């Protein structure tokens, strides 16, 4: 996993200046589907470069990431709504969508509605799955879209702040952007622990 993360980081940093906002938005759109791309490896490096080199703005990075997240999440919603629950549960595991995870996300969505969609944008795993149960349950797309947009904006802002903070303290990197991978893994571990705690509490209450 660490090697794959390093390879992705090396590729991403090598093409980021050419791809710019479109690349950020595209990768964040993929991250909001079933593609296992960590947003922690997309937004912070872009915000760091925006802060230190000025090729583009930190606000632009946040808006591009938010737009991409919204597009990807919307695609998941409409795909799930069109294909239906039986199709998703049967073929989801073939693309990494385990039935157990979908089931938890479905109950989460049914219980908490659009507020659950908002908070899910701040949690790993559920973040990119929440569009499936929302679509299956035919949640009002206007509420889903608004909650997704606000949650994604908040999440991208937090990640961009991380990149700016590192850019303001270059000693944290010691001249190497690859050290972002260490920060990414640390953030991922903390968020995964938070996710496990919340899901366990939610499952126990069920």
Cα distance between residue 139 and residue 115, in whole Å: 12
Please give the chain's pLDDT, 206 residues, in tens. 556 666 777 778 788 888 889 999 999 999 888 777 778 888 988 888 888 887 789 999 999 999 999 999 999 899 888 887 787 777 777 666 677 767 777 776 777 777 778 877 877 667 777 888 888 888 889 999 999 999 999 999 988 988 887 766 555 544 455 555 555 556 655 655 555 555 555 555 55
* pLDDT tens readout for residues 51-65: 888 778 999 999 999
Compute how many other C-beta atoms are within 10 angstroms of the C-beta atom of residue 102: 20
* pLDDT at res. 201: 58
Could you state, in order of their start, the residue ranges of all structural domains in the chain?
Answer: 2-205
**Secondary structure (H, E, C), the chain:** CHHHHHHHHHHHHHHHHHHHHHHHHHHHHHHCCCCCCCHHHCHHHHHHHHHHHCCCCHHHHHHHHHHHHHHHHHHHHHHHHHHCHHHHHHHHHHHCCCHHHHHHHHHHHHHHHHHHHHHHCCCCCHHHHCHHHHHHCCCCHHHHHHHHHHHHHHHHHHHHHHHHHHHHCHHHCCCCHHHHHHHHHHHHHHHHHHHHHHHHHHHHHC
């Amino acid at each position: 996993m660490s090697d794959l993360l390093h390879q992705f980081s090396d590729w991403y940093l090598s093409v980021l200046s050419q791809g710019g906002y479109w690349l950020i938005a595209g990768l964040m759109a993929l991250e909001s589907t079933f593609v296992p791309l960590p947003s922690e490896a997309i937004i912070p490096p872009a915000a760091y470069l925006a802060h230190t080199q000025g090729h583009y703005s930190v606000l632009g990075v946040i808006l591009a990431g938010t737009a991409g997240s919204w597009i990807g999440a919307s695609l998941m919603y409409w795909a799930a709504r069109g294909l239906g629950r039986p199709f998703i549960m049967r073929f989801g595991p073939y693309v990494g969508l385990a039935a157990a995870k979908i089931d938890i996300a479905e109950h989460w969505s049914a219980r908490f509605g659009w507020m659950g969609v908002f908070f899910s944008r701040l949690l790993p795993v559920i973040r990119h799955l929440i569009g499936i149960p929302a679509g299956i349950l035919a949640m009002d797309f206007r509420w889903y879209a608004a909650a997704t947009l606000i949650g994604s904006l908040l999440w991208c802002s937090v990640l961009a702040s991380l990149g700016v903070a590192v850019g303001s303290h270059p000693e944290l990197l010691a001249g190497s952007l690859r050290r972002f991978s260490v920060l990414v893994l640390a953030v991922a571990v903390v968020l995964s622990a938070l996710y496990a705690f919340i899901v366990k509490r939610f499952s126990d209450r069920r």
